Structure 1
Amino acid sequence: MTTSSYLTVKALTKYIKRKFDADPHLREVYVKGELSNVKIHSSGHIYFTLKDDAARITAAMFRTQASKLKFKPEEGMQVYIRGEVNVYESSGIYQLYVQTMEPDGVGGLFVAFNQLKERLQKEGFFNPNFKQPIPKFPNTVGVLTATTGAAIRDICTTINRRYPLAEIVIYPTVVQGENAAPNIVKNIQLANNQQLCDVLIVGRGGGSIEDLWAFNEEIVAQAIFESRIPIISAVGHETDTTIADFVADLRAPTPTAAAELAVPNQHELIQRIISNKSRLQQMTSALVQFERSRLKKLQNAYPLATPERLYRPFIEKIVQLDMQLGRASQMYLMKKYNALQKLDSTIKSHSPKNEIQYNYKQINHMTDLLTRSVLSLLQKKKDQYGANVRTLEALNPLSIMTRGYSVTYKEQQVVKSVTQLSKDEEIDIHFHDGKVQAKIIEIHEGGEK
């Protein structure tokens, strides 16, 4: 056999793949088994192994098909799969390409419901501490539901019958189908942004689990949990339960029950007001009667019948204290008067008149001495001042200049010698009454003429 008779790996794999492609039984197969080595890729693709007691096969479910799953595939889960068997050329192995997947024993929606419920419960979405109280007397009630059907009619009729004071704001909402969940989220956020409502009713009438599935979506649960307005869920009938019921601040078994929980009953309020009014009147009447009885007893009491007996001891006490104050004041004044008399006698006994006259003479004598000393000092300073003035006048260059002297400047510097000058230089000559500008014509040194 020549070497040309040998196939390449690629050629052999392509041949096998064509065999798989040509087999109509492999284009759509229905297989059940246990999930193993489940890997959910960030791209959305799901890779796993499907096995039973005797064999196993690798499988892949691409993002387009995987996005339609209502539940999350998990390790050990028994499933029913519809798909295609083909060859993956790069590795040369055959594998199952999954189109649909359903859990064994229970529906996929039920599994997805339980998975989401368990996860949200762990994250605290159902925690009672996060639930807001429903206002007792709301001014405005918002209703998020379809504008057709019995739910909207039952809610509005019940609110208008029970509490006509409340206004109703309707947010037309898609509550079934692929667009239902995003539309529910959009209207919950719109109601929160507008802040028109005191409470929101979110729900719809009954239906199958597929019909109610929008209220089991995680984005709806997130929107209800984040709502600043209290939300009452009203999905389906009493036996229907959705994720929205667990997250909402209050769950109502039906839309009609939600309306009853959202507003009070006006007839009950009127009866309560009438009952409270009657009780208040009875209590007021009894209290007035009781206080009148007390007042009558007090008026007939002995102290009030003879009130002067109450304050007579105090009047006597005041009179007694007034007398004590008068005596104490007289004694104090007498004591101070005696002390003053004693002090006056002491001053007179010392006879300070001669001492005062002596001191007066001493003061006059000292005053004369001080006056003469000051006059002598002033005269001395005056004579010294005159001498200083005469000295200054003698040294004053201006006084010398009045006798015919002058001062010569060259460039604002005093000229003290002819050696500082040159021929044709200009100089300034200052006299006592002004100055002149001159020019050097000729220089004679050493006193020569």
Structure 2
Amino acid sequence: MHSDPSPSLRPRALTVSELNRQARHLLETSFMQVWVEGELSSLSRPSSGHWYFSLKDQRAQVRCAMFRGFNQRIRQVPKEGDQVRIRGKVSLYENRGDFQIIVEHMEPAGLGALQQAFEALKARLQAEGLFAVERKKPIPDTPRHIGVVTSPTGAAIHDILTVLGRRCPGIPVTLYPTAVQGQAATASIVGAIDRAVRHNQADVLIIGRGGGSLEDLWCFNEEAVARAIAACPIPTVSAVGHEVDVTIADFVADLRAPTPSAAAEKISPDQAAWLARLTETRQRLASAASRYLRQQEVRLDQLAARLRDPRRQLQEKAQRLDDVELRFRQAISQRLGRERTHSDHLAQRLLAHRPSRRIGEQTQRVDQLGERLQASLSRQLEKRNQRLESAARTLNAVSPLATLGRGYAIVSSDNQTVVRDPATLSPGDRIRAKLAKGTVDATVSSVNTDSD
């Protein structure tokens, strides 16, 4: 038999909370963002406004949570059995140890055909080298003229002009208007790029539009637009949709910006930076500040890795509250069902055993038992009296008192021993004679042992 190792040599055991926290951190850092497609089932929408559901296929399923801030963007609420595509982050609900996806976007799975076309064109153009880094033209640090290919009425041109007006209002901007949505958009975008090339004024060209659905942005995934961007001699910046939107134009362009505003930020020089470069002192200050900021960023990243996001904690608390609410409702429903069933059972029993009938039956039985008890007591008393009289007669027959009553006496010595033989006495001894009525004390004057 082996003895247990010393406590100091035993490996430290994790608590369940520590294990789940480490597993959640590992999942969230290993899967930054995923797209998953499947059938929606077990959809629950508690009063908090959050959605909880499962996504399944023929062999497996995964739990999902979509919080109110994200599901409010869904145009049409999904229903059980819908085929959907979701984008989100892999995580773990620590309180129950449930593997789950925190969903940030949901769309019908029917968009898969467009996604397949996107991937097919992307692979073909990439094989041709249109995405190669070595073919991309550098973006000028200080552009003299900026061209913009977008809709004249959309939000993109407004955002671009606003940023340029703030950062460097002296740079001229030329708009090459085009449709950015619909069947005619592809040819319109190609034509606008061609006009910009023929105009030969801009030394950088922003091509893009504001956000929208995959169908809205599809013209920027067309092969004709991609080849027009690739063939453009002017350095191009793709600025299509929001930060999460990715199009073929992003891969072909010389620079990809997450939004139109970001594109204007990237290509426009900052007047404050120009002034900062006028003196070498400011250059050294900027260099020192840059080094300090990098050090602080590293420190901030280290601290951020140790500090949990308050929003995630609030989401977990909200999810836990919803879980408690659902379990509470189920418990109340089950309790009410049991109490209702028990009440019905008692009512049936009460109806079958009416108190008035039971009282009458029990009263009659009490009367019968009372009569039987009275008769039994009488018989028992009679028997006891007879036995007592018989015992009294027997006791009286053998009682010494009866003998004394016939004139006999009981003689005892000083030590209260009954005298049966006169030889045990001597003259002068004290004796006592018990008669039928009282006693007599006497002194032995003589002893006669004759039997006569």
Smaller-chain TM-score bracket: 0.3 to 0.5
| TM-score normalised by structure 2 residue count | 0.38
| TM-score normalised by structure 1 residue count | 0.38
